[in-house]
Amino acid sequence: MNLDWLAPANEDAKMPFEVPQSFTRKVALGFAAYILFVIYPAYLGLRMLWGTYTFEWQSLLTAVISAVVFGLFAYKTMNDYFRRRPPR
Amino acid sequence: MLETFSTTLAPYYLQIKFVHLLFVAMWFWSTSVAYSYYLVPLFKAWQQAPDQIDRIHLRNWAMERFDDGAILEHIAFPMVLITGTTLMLIGGWNPGFGWFAMKLVLVVLVFVPIEVMDYYLAHFGGNKEAIRQSGAIEAYEPAIRRHWYFLVLSTPVVIVSITYVVYLAITKPF
């Protein structure tokens, strides 16, 4: 097979690509924290600014559950993509 | 001036909404087949055996093509923002509506930062073909790996947030 027309295969591409699970765990935690401490407060802030905000436990609970479930989903997805697996 | 703009375009609300939805669909789905069925399998194959030259070649080829493949997505995104802002102005939507406030927050705090990074990686400093042609070959592999990191980290965010925003816009649940 003539590979000349393809993009180059450098020597440094042969270095193993390994992403530790501790990294994906930290990223997933960061995502969950971003939902709880950035996205949700920004949403509440906007509602307050427009005078349509009323505190509801249900809203806070939804934010917490969303952050946890999304964190778990992100952790699983990232690990799946970074995992070494033979092509189908 | 904004009022004149809104009044002039108000009769065309549904037509603008149609254009908005068309570009949202293009933005959301245009790279999905290339990503899921070309890029991901080739990167997984390379991760499995990084020393195999044919896998590196194919990985690099797929990533360079993917940079170009993102053009449709990156034409669609500004169109989504323009038509979305127009709909907001002529439809009278504001963050007083809960669903709209959440949508706005996700656009500004999730989509825009991701797209800024994506534009850079695919078309500007991170474009792999441009790096290769510039002769800065030592920058090629780091650029490939950086882009792969970005794609994997943004995958769960994109899947969930775009789906959620489309749900919010259609059902207006709160």
Q: Please answer yes or no on whether B153 and A27 come within 8 Å at the CB atom.
A: yes
Which residue would you say has higher pLDDT here, A84 or B130? B130
Find the closest chain B residue to A17 by CA distance. Answer: B47
Whether B144 and chain A come into contact, CB under 8 Å, resolves to yes
Distances in Å between the Cα of B149 and the Cα atoms of A36, B88, B94 are 24, 35, 36
**What is the distance between the alpha carbons of residues B62 and B109, in angstroms, rounded to a whole number?**
30
Instruction: For residue range B81-95, list pLDDT tens digits in order.
Output: 999 999 999 999 999
Rounded to whole angstroms, the Cα distance separating B102 from B174 reads 10
Nearest chain A residue (CA) to B98 = A47
- Nearest residue, CB atoms, B40 vs list A12, A43, A81: A81
Exposure string of B52-67, with b = 16+ CB inside 10 Å and e = fewer, is eeebbbbbbbbbbbbb
Per-residue pLDDT of B117-157, as tens digits, reads 999 999 999 999 999 999 888 999 999 999 999 999 999 99
Find which of A1, A2, A10, A76 to mutate to test the B interface (most B CBs within 10 Å of its CB). Answer: A10
Q: Is B113 on the interface with A (CB under 8 A)?
A: no
Could you give the residue ranges of the DSSP H alpha helices within chain B?
A: 2-9, 13-29, 32-34, 40-48, 53-91, 98-106, 112-123, 128-134, 140-171
Closest CB to B95 among A15, A47, A84: A47
> What is the nearest CA distance from A6 to chain B, expressed in angstroms?
6
> What DSSP string runs through B134-160?
HT-GGGHHHHHHHHHHHHHHHHHHHHH
Q: What pLDDT digit, counting tens, does each position of A15-61 carry?
A: 999 899 999 999 999 999 999 999 999 999 999 999 988 888 999 99
Which amino acid, residue B163? T
Dump pLDDT digits (tens) for B30-48: 999 999 999 999 999 999 9
CB pairs under 8 A between A and B: 118
Query: In this structure, are residues A37 and B120 in contact, taking their beta carbons and an 8 Å threshold?
Result: no
Distance CA B108, CA B147 (A): 22
B72 touches chain A (CB under 8 A): no
In angstroms, the CA B48 to CA B32 distance is: 23
Residue of A nearest to B149 (CA): A82
The structure tokens 């950035």 sit at A38
